[in-house]
Structure formats: C-alpha cells, structure tokens
Amino acid sequence: MAQLNNKVAVITGAAQGAGRGCALAYAKEGASLVLVGRTEETLEELNVELQQLGAQTLVVVADVGKLKDIQRCVTKTIEIFGTIDILVNSAQSPSMRSANLLEIDRHVMDQLWQTGPVASLELMRACHPYLKGGGSIINFGSGAQFVPGGYGVYAAAKSAINMITRAAAVEWGSDGIRANLVVPMVHSAANDEAMAAEPQLEKMLINSIPLGRIGDPEQDVGRALVFLGSDESRYVTGTTLMLDGGQQFLH
C-alpha cells in the first residue's frame, strides 16, 4: 500500500529542485498534490508529469511572499480537496544568497525574510486548522545556517525557519501536528547554473560531501520527505534531518 494514500500535500516551490523531487516522490506514494509556485509554465509541465503518474493535482500560481496569495492557496486547496494533511515549505527567494553583510541591500533582505520565515509561518498558521489530528509540516533549512560566513542574512532567515519549526512542534504537538526541518544538498537549477559557469565549483562541492556526490531531488530528498509526511514518522517532531551526504557535520 502506498504510504501517502488519501493524504493531501501542499508543496511550495514545487516546480524545481527539492520541491519538484518531493512532488514526484509524493505522487508515486498516492498523495493528492497542490503545486504552488510563481511560474505557471514550469508548474504545468510538472503537473502533466504527475498526472501521468495518476496523481490528483491542483496548480496554484502564487507568490508566498504575499499574504493574499497564501490565503488564496489554502482556500483553493480546501475547495478542491477538503483538507490539508502535509505542508511542505520549500519556496525561498535565492536572491544574492552569498552577499556579505555590508553588500546586501534592504530590498533583498526584505525579500529573503518575506519569502522565508514569514511565508513559512503564515502558511503554517493558515493550514493549522486542517492539519490538526495528524498533520505534518516540513520546512526547509540550509547548510548556510551552520556556516554563515558570506551568507549572513540568508543564513539568519533559514535559522529563523528552524526556530519557528521547533516552536510549532512544541506548541502544536497537543493538536496532533508534527513539524520538522530538512537541510538538503541537491541538484537544482540555481546550483547547476552556478556549476556550469564555474566548472571548478562542482569539483569543490563534491569534495566537500563525504558521500562524494550531490543529492538527487527525488531519490535523496523526496523519499525522505515521504517518511516525514507519512504515519511511519508519527513520533518524529521538532527535529532537523540533514539530507546533505554528510557535508555539514562530517567533512
């Protein structure tokens, strides 16, 4: 039996990277999927692929940095599916992730906070009534939060998501809601573009990962998120799951 049969999952940032890998893995485990992102074309491409796998889907073009878009996303989900069992907060503006503290401008700072911890929290709050009684929240951190040099504001935003996740695990545990953080290192459009521009970067990155490779969005991240979204992890909450091949703590 598929692990996510009869579960409805809202996935932000679904069209690329780890979000896309999660959507593919969830579809193969029987979940109904709400695909949230800013670019309709890439969402629809993924939607076709998921429907070919037999998944029931809903595409919502939205900017998670805007509260009205978050509210519209949840409203449409309830209209179509009637509930929400899993919330995956994968979306995050990547703008100038590596900018030093003296270089980053206020607009970029605001964007990082609005699309990161603020968006994650607002989505969690909007989904809370429907997650009661067994729901799972999966938020995304970053290796930058452990080695912040050169990534200060981005790292701070990801660290804030970590603390919001832990607070939800404590405050909402009595509601039957679990909340966990994952920290992936996977192939994504941004990572692959950077490595194509600087061939040495890929070698350096791989050398920093004890398992010797960059993760696959579906097999290395999506499958782990299936576990966190399923009843197999019903006693797991408030934890951080490193999905980075040992990069942060073993290199």
Q: Whole-angstrom distance between the N-terminal and C-terminal Cα of the chain? A: 38
Query: Do the beta carbons of residue 12 and residue 77 sit within 8 Å?
Result: no
Which one is catalytic: 130, 151, 154, 235? 154
26 included as an active-site residue: no
C-alpha count within 13 angstroms, C-beta hemisphere, residue 6: 3
Strand locations in the chain (E): 8-12, 32-37, 57-61, 86-89, 136-140, 178-184, 240-243
Query: Do the beta carbons of residue 2 and residue 29 sit within 8 Å?
Result: yes
Please state, in angstroms and rounded to a whole number, the distance separating the CA atoms of residues 28 and 143.
28
Q: Which amino acid, one-letter code, is at 179?
A: A
State the burial class of residue 202 (Cβ atoms within 10 Å of its Cβ: 0-12, 13-18, 19+). Answer: middle
Please state, in angstroms and rounded to a whole number, the distance separating the CA atoms of residues 11 and 178.
16
The catalytic residue positions are: 154
